[in-house]
Amino acid sequence: MSIDLSVVAPCLNEEANLPLLVDRLMAASAEDGVSLEVVLVDDGSTDGTWGVIQELEKAHPGVVKGVRHSRNMGIPAGWRSGTDAASGAYVGFIDSDLQNPPEEMLTLLRRLRESSYDIAQGTRSSIGRLKDSRLAFSRALNVILNTTFGMRATDNKSGFVVGPRGVMDDILRHRGSYNHFQTFIAVSAVSKGYSILEVETLFQNRNAGESFLTTRSWAVSREAFADLPRAFVEFRVRSHRRRRGALGPMRNPRQAVRHPYRGWRRVWFEAFFATMPAHKWLITRRARDIYLELQGSQWWGRDQIADLQLAKLQRLVQHAYVHVPYYRRAMNEAGLSPHDVRTLDDLRRLPMLTKDDVRRHLHFDLFADTHRKRDMHRISTSGSTGEPFTCYADRHQLEVRFATTLRALEWTGWRFGDKQARL
């Protein structure tokens, strides 16, 4: 049976909480008619947590799945291990201490499915919440994160999140080494272009046991603030160039590309791109970064290119399903979801788009709800088949097309700076 939702719960000395966590999740999923999987990740516990997980696996075969770390590796590592082991179309993260009501995980899933967002994040309500120093710290950190990363999140660092498995896997990927990456889960999502639906949820007192923050709250605070400069570089400085000046998402960090020109050709090349807005309509110097990436990617092996293609396809299908009304309707009618696109061959399963479809739905069913009109350019053909055809391209598409054209010219032996004649 296919699984709708995999709930990943990192556990550190949580033997008293796990049976109730599983029972409440199973009851809520049964009420909502959602097929459930609970992935419990023992993160180096020193009590009987692993024994309890094994008992729950036996009591609920096919529902509870255990993963064990030999030592304490932290919440983000628990999320990654759990996501790798998950088989659900959606993955949700929850703490094992029952401070986030397990029933609300199903609320997040339901609200996400009804929305036009990529992930849903539970924002911790002040209703019934203990007003202590941890609340003050959490709110102060939220203000700092919003200011640093240009966001307006209500509860930026909440790790009570649910989203499609591929999206969650992408959000967890990062290049830097962090003390507490969980602080930046929403920052990572936004930096990669994902939209977040905020849903107010209760945040209650711990059910049993003691939080590791009880004795380390100030140390954790210092470590979280120490992560900020590194996160700012990765998720704000670099992400802007990566999102708008790159071919697409990659599973692994890209290698530096050697510049193809030297001497006067390089000077001419750099001057041309630096002044791009003055002589190219809508195209900016970001086309330079795309061109240099193309220079390197043309020499990749088959597996590496296929990895890029699949990552781009999955990101594109996710975006189209969530943000483009036409494709959401067409995919639902075909019985498809972004989760179903797992290989390049699955491209054949997607609905075809015809010129007639574009003519009938261009305004506005085929426009993403995230489009920026100032970046859009109207393109019309002359109508050689008897009827003119009109569509729109955005700035990034024009920059990619310019970069690929430049690379294709070089395949003929032409070099930047050489004269050319076009007929």
Give the C-alpha separation, 78 to 45, whole Å: 12
Based on the domain organization, do 210 and 291 belong to the same domain? Answer: no
Domain termination residue (choose one: 210, 244, 278): 244
Task: Go through the chain and tell me how many residues it has.
Answer: 423
109 vs 206, which has greater pLDDT? 109
pLDDT digits (tens, 9 = 90+) for 266-304: 999 999 999 998 988 889 888 998 999 899 889 999 998
**Shared-domain flag, residues 229 and 283:** no
Identify the CATH number of the domain in which residue 226 sits. 3.90.550.10
DSSP line for 374-385: GGEEEEE---TT
Whether residue 256 is contained in a domain is answered as: no
Q: How far is CA 17 from CA 12, 96, 204, 210, in A?
A: 11, 7, 14, 11
Clarify whether residues 16 and 151 are in a common domain: yes
| 316 falls within a domain | yes
- Per the structure, the complete domain to which residue 339 belongs is given by 263-411
Q: Is the pLDDT of residue 211 over 70?
A: no
Looking at the structure of the chain, the number of domains it has is: 2
Q: Would you state the pLDDT for residue 195?
A: 92
Instruction: Identify whether 285 is part of a domain.
Output: yes
| Domain termination residue (choose one: 244, 277, 305) | 244
| pLDDT higher than 90, residue 400 | yes
Tens of pLDDT, residue by residue over 293-332, are 899 889 999 998 898 889 889 989 999 999 999 999 999 9
Residues 312 and 402 in one domain: yes
Residues 184 and 283 in one domain: no
> Domain of 386: which CATH number?
3.40.50.12780
pLDDT at residue 419 in the model: 93
Q: Mapping DSSP to helix (H, G, I), strand (E, B) and coil, where does residue 12 land?
A: coil
Residue 200 lies in a domain: yes
pLDDT above 60 for 347: yes
Please give the pLDDT value at position 225. 83
Q: Let me know whether 229 and 92 are in one domain.
A: yes
Cβ count near 137 (within 10 Å): 16
Whether 330 and 390 share a structural domain: yes
